[in-house]
């Protein structure tokens, strides 16, 4: 488990300052929630931590490693997006396996982890389906599973529940909290 620390981070897009001198610490194994109005830079902060954007100034630390210039693959973070970002042409099994396949895990290990995550998330019966055959809640579980399967040090959640109806959102928020606690992953939630 690791802390995530931002020190005086600034990100500009042209003349627009998206993130202005932000500093905070997300504690190891805990959930940190970023609050603010639409357009206040919350998602940009997640993208900076993930390495999808680079800061113009300031420092981003994951554990004892300064990651400002590291590519996403070297940061050991997993991000869940608002739209789930599932591969529509792949089955649930293939979507879950993808992060492990690109890291060249052995087939047996991939199979073991996919089945373990599917069991944890209650989606074992969905492994042969494509995303279009799933409900919003099921798609969200697949996206969460894909983020968890490689056991990252940091989990970044960018409005993962916003596309769900109110009742399912309450249920999934409780499930997310339970999952995060059981895995002990440092989590930043927008």
What is the CATH number for 21? 3.40.50.300
CB 9 within 8 A of CB 57: yes
The angle formed by the CA atoms of residues 70, 72 and 73, to the nearest 5 degrees, is 100
Distance separating alpha carbons of residues 49 and 67, to the nearest angstrom: 8
Q: 31-33 and 186-189 as β-strands: parallel, antiparallel, unpaired?
A: parallel
Domain identity same for 136 and 157: no
The pLDDT profile of the chain, 190 residues, written as one tens digit per residue, is 799 999 999 999 999 999 999 999 999 999 999 999 999 999 999 999 999 999 999 999 999 999 999 999 899 999 988 777 899 999 999 999 999 998 999 999 999 999 999 988 889 999 999 999 998 888 988 998 998 888 889 999 998 877 777 887 788 788 888 888 888 899 999 9
Sign, Cα dihedral of 29, 70, 9, 45: negative
pLDDT of residue 68: 97
Does residue 157 sit in the same domain as residue 95? Answer: no
Q: Same structural domain for residues 71 and 156?
A: yes
Count of domains for the chain: 2
Same domain, 147 and 121: yes
Same-domain check for residues 2 and 70: yes
Do 2 and 61 belong together in one domain?
A: yes
Where does residue 18 fall: left (phi above 0), alpha (psi -120 to 50 degrees), or beta otherwise? alpha
Distance CA 41, CA 18 (A): 5
- Predicted pLDDT of residue 156: 95
| Domain span holding position 128 | 84-151
Note whether 2 and 69 are same-domain residues. yes
Q: Is residue 173 situated within a structural domain?
A: no
Of 83, 113, 72, the C-alpha closest to 96 is 113
pTM of the entire predicted model: 0.84
What pLDDT is stored for residue 37 in this prediction? 94
3-state SS of the chain: helix, strand, coil percent to 5?
40, 25, 35
Are residues 100 and 145 both part of a single domain?
yes
């Amino acid at each position: 488990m690791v802390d995530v620390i931002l020190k005086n981070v600034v990100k500009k897009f042209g003349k627009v300052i998206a993130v202005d001198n932000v500093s905070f610490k997300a504690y190891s194994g805990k959930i940190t929630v970023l609050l603010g109005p639409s357009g206040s830079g919350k998602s940009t902060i997640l993208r900076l931590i993930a390495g999808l954007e680079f800061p113009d100034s300031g420092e981003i630390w994951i554990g004892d490693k300064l990651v400002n210039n590291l590519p996403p693959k070297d940061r050991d973070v997993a991000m869940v997006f608002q739209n789930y970002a599932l591969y529509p042409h792949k089955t649930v099994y293939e979507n879950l396996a993808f992060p492990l396949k690109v890291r060249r895990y052995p087939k047996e290990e991939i199979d073991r982890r996919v089945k373990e995550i599917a069991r944890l998330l209650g989606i074992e019966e969905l492994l042969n389906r494509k995303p279009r055959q799933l409900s919003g809640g099921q798609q969200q579980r697949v996206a969460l599973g894909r983020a968890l399967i490689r056991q990252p040090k940091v989990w970044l959640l960018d409005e993962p529940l916003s596309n769900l109806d109110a009742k399912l959102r309450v249920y999934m928020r409780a499930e997310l909290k339970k999952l995060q606690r059981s895995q002990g992953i440092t989590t930043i939630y927008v």
